[in-house]
Amino acid sequence: MAGHDDHGNTPAAWTGVIIMIAASIVGGYFMVAGQPFVGLGAWVGLSAVGVVAGLAMRAAGYGKKPETLPAQRTAPAAERTDEPAPAPAAAGG
């Protein structure tokens, strides 16, 4: 996974994840309170709200922009090479 330096740190991603964490907490509360089907419904429903909120925010421009990708992923195929870079010349002294 070398070179993977962006892990979705955007407002859209954070909003979706926070809503889904809240869904897990609410669902877990109802599970412990003895109402497992209410807990399951709350967890599934609120998780869906988190996904929709994250996707809507991404569509509104709060997600990852394509131009923020690492350079090696956006370089044209003609510029990429599978050969190793040449060794630097030894400094004469």
pLDDT at 76 (0 to 100): 58
Residue 58 lies in a domain: yes
Q: Compute the C-alpha angle 33/21/6, nearest 5°.
A: 165
Residue 57 lies in a domain: yes
Tokens 């996974």 sit on residue: 1
Residue 6 lies in a domain: no
- Domain enclosing residue 56, as ranges: 11-64
Domains identified in the chain, total number? 1
Burial class (CB within 10 angstroms; exposed 0-12, middle 13-18, buried 19+) of 12? buried
Residue 90 lies in a domain: no
pLDDT at 92 (0 to 100): 63
Q: What is the pLDDT of residues 3-34, one digit of tens each?
A: 556 677 889 989 999 999 999 999 999 999 99
- pLDDT confidence of 52, banded at 50, 70, 90? very high
pTM of the model: 0.63
C-alpha–C-alpha distance, residues 16 and 18, integer Å: 6
